[in-house]
Structure 1
């Protein structure tokens, strides 16, 4: 896949670094700061009006501009969920990671086989698991019934297009292309993200705060000798996008690069992250954008752990200081300049 092809595909603090401070500009009051209505989803039918998450979303009025909570009771919901562009200000809330799960077995084009797709701005998802089971079930055969080898294909769990969207205490599980951080400013906090190949990718402008990254191919470990955590698609120097990993950890069972270039100005920063021995000594891969490798912004700032040894890293890695990282990539400066995060209703 060339950089040109990628471009065409993508065109469609307080004392503690990373605290949720707001800038001096006026707060973004879109959607208000209170939930005005709660819709309950219960697949057992014992409570709530709806048995499917998508039915509850469909019931929200077009042009919605006040926070509506969709409370999803415990259970495994086998369905594709899409929040359309004209339905902002929606909170989808489960009862806990691995307690409430939305899952689907999609393996066609990434834009139509995603388990959970969010199009509008101002969407919050919390306390649930989102999974694409394709290529990751423990019971998945490595060969088909006719003896042909099983092909690993992109299978997206989450695709987020909308600006100013947040994901708290969620699991995202897949193998290839698990989380499509497509575009817009996003805040992921206390999340668990699992996969092996480009499993956090896209052109989003996002901070992953205190997230656990698990690099594993599961049942297909023998098919994936080497993986990649990120494939970030920044296209030019003025493009504000980038992935910032603040604290959290990288672990797993599959050797992985921290990232490979999904665009000629790809940008990924790991700050104070615990890196286990699964991180490949080279750390980063310029992929099909080798001619632009000195334009890539890849940095590891005050990371620790067995995988944080910088002596074998690629020579074109960024030498970013902690003070510079704090200034440029804090939550308040990178994604929350107008305080939209502070306006999200509490539980």
Structure 2
């Protein structure tokens, strides 16, 4: 179960990343205000904007590295760190679980590409401790890494259990060209504002879930339930906005929904669950009703499930649930504009990920 290959050239994709960051700057009127001082300090003289780089290599064949595990590299970052630190991770499979505690912000994990650098383990059930990768600190950036939970992936009897590959619980976090691979509850977008750009997310049941406030920009969303239990319909999202004023919701902009089997686009894990699918390609994997109120039957008016400007065999909304929202252009723009996650300009303060 490997990530699908990238089809764009390095030059084309570097241009795309630059355009994403430019959009982040200009999506709200190109405000000139600088990010607050509490954000991580950028080193203007370094090509990545970082204070220093730590190297990780577990192969034993590459140049001398500072560490052989990702976790030890993270542990070496000072508590309360306030300037960007880059952890350069070599190609290879890192068989370990990795945690970034809430007292270790300003870390940039830089892999060699999601087809080359992976962090993998096999764990399940317990939400606080079972994710293969967990980031609780604010200001975390990753590029070019696959996070994979191997539980239930492979031969043997299928047992449905939560088996999370990654949990992101800090604010102001961004992931570029990363992969998240699992089966049930693959990716916990737990809390905070996040950007996921050109990422690959694979799973079967509720495989993008949580209460984060996030934009998924040009990501590949891959359903795999048809490989394991073809007769069962899966669910792509389980969004957990619980109160009307809560800063929470998932926006999929320019994504590709594909894979094997059938699924709904989402079901309500919270009373005000919010998911917007916009300008995306939706393959023939979505069941006609599209959405499920789950435990909130009778309160569907509080749910915000939106599909707009999509294409593909699965994008026909004529048989969707009658309570799916139809937004006017201004309402839709309030979700798909980058200001949905970046009113204060934190995206301008990221390391230079395209260097």
Whether the TM-score (by the shorter chain) exceeds 0.5 is yes
What secondary structure sits across from 1:235 in the alignment? coil
TM-score (norm 2): 0.87
Given that 1:135 and 1:220 are in contact with CA atoms closer than 8 Å, whether structure 2 keeps it comes out as no
In 1, Cα distance between the equivalents of 2:92 and 2:219?
Answer: 24
> Partner residue of 1:125?
142
Shift of 1:20: 1.6
> Partner residue of 2:270?
263
> Partner residue of 1:312?
319
Given that 1:275 and 1:304 are in contact with CA atoms closer than 8 Å, whether structure 2 keeps it comes out as yes
> Partner residue of 1:7?
none
Given that 2:241 and 2:274 are in contact with CA atoms closer than 8 Å, whether structure 1 keeps it comes out as yes
Given that 1:195 and 1:217 are in contact with CA atoms closer than 8 Å, whether structure 2 keeps it comes out as yes
> Partner residue of 1:187?
195
1:15-41 C-alpha deviation (Å, 9 max, x unpaired): 99x922354344245112220110000
What secondary structure sits across from 1:324 in the alignment? helix
> Partner residue of 1:206?
214
1:237-260 C-alpha deviation (Å, 9 max, x unpaired): 111200000011100102010000
| Match 2:23 to one of 11, 16, 19 | 19
With 23-32 and 92-101 compared, the bigger mean Cα shift is at: 23-32
Q: What residue ranges of structure 1 are gaps of 5+ in the alignment?
A: 1-14, 143-149
What secondary structure sits across from 1:69 in the alignment? strand
In 1, Cα distance between the equivalents of 2:211 and 2:97?
Answer: 23
In 1, Cα distance between the equivalents of 2:34 and 2:98?
Answer: 33
> Which runs of structure 2 are paired with 1:92-241 in the superposition (5 Å)?
92-137=109-154, 140-142=155-157, 150-217=158-225, 219-222=227-230, 225-241=232-248
What secondary structure sits across from 2:94 in the alignment? strand
1:129-148 C-alpha deviation (Å, 9 max, x unpaired): 110011122xx212xxxxxx
What secondary structure sits across from 2:348 in the alignment? helix
Given that 2:276 and 2:335 are in contact with CA atoms closer than 8 Å, whether structure 1 keeps it comes out as no
> Which runs of structure 2 are paired with 1:57-76 in the superposition (5 Å)?
57-76=74-93
Shift of 1:115: 0.3
Shift of 1:345: 1.4
Is 1:31 matched up with 2:53? Answer: no
> Superposition RMSD on alpha carbons, in Å?
1.8
Given that 2:108 and 2:351 are in contact with CA atoms closer than 8 Å, whether structure 1 keeps it comes out as no
With 213-222 and 303-312 compared, the bigger mean Cα shift is at: 213-222
> Partner residue of 2:67?
50
What secondary structure sits across from 1:21 in the alignment? helix
Q: Count residues with an aligned counterpart.
A: 322
> Partner residue of 2:307?
300
Q: What residue ranges of structure 2 are gaps of 5+ in the alignment?
A: 1-18, 43-48
TM-score (norm 1): 0.89
